[in-house]
Homo-oligomer: A and B are copies of this chain.
Amino acid sequence: MDPAAKYFCREATERERAVFEGGIALAALYHQFVGTPISRADRRAVETLEDAMERAAKLQPYREDVKVKINIDARKDVSSPYGYESLRGEHLDLTVKTRYGRAKATARLRYIPELDYPLMYIEEVSEG
């Protein structure tokens, strides 16, 4: 039972609920974590951040699975004390699988070179 169901308009379908939660999950991860220090030289720090982001996103309702991949470019000289970077949308590859009732959706964020933009899009949506 969804204690929030009554706040949603009747017109919203289960597929739309699943897709809505997917959009929320992607934007939450993006806007929460962009700016976090990351470094090619400390792979363990990056993996721990990926793990923390996945676990945080899964605490929200109707998420079935969340995968976070951070791809660091090789631009910076890591031997300098200023050789780390700040997490940007371009580094992120996010996949969020949501389910609401019988409906399922997969939402994705990844950098699209053609658009020069970290695009959030619907990769799959179905009614089970």
A: residues with CB less than 8 A from B are 2-4, 7-9, 11-12, 15-17, 19-28, 30-39, 42, 44-45, 48-49, 51-53, 55-62, 75-76, 80-82, 84, 86, 88-89, 107, 112, 114-117, 119-126
CB distance from A111 to the nearest CB of B (A): 11
Top 8 nearest A-B pairs by Cβ distance? A23-B23, A45-B55, A61-B81, A27-B27, A52-B52, A34-B35, A31-B31, A31-B32
Cβ contacts A to B, 30 pairs, < 8 Å = A2-B81, A3-B80, A4-B82, A4-B119, A4-B121, A7-B121, A9-B122, A9-B124, A15-B16, A16-B16, A16-B19, A16-B122, A16-B125, A20-B120, A24-B120, A30-B35, A31-B35, A34-B35, A35-B89, A37-B59, A38-B56, A42-B55, A42-B59, A45-B52, A45-B56, A45-B59, A48-B48, A48-B51, A48-B52, A59-B84
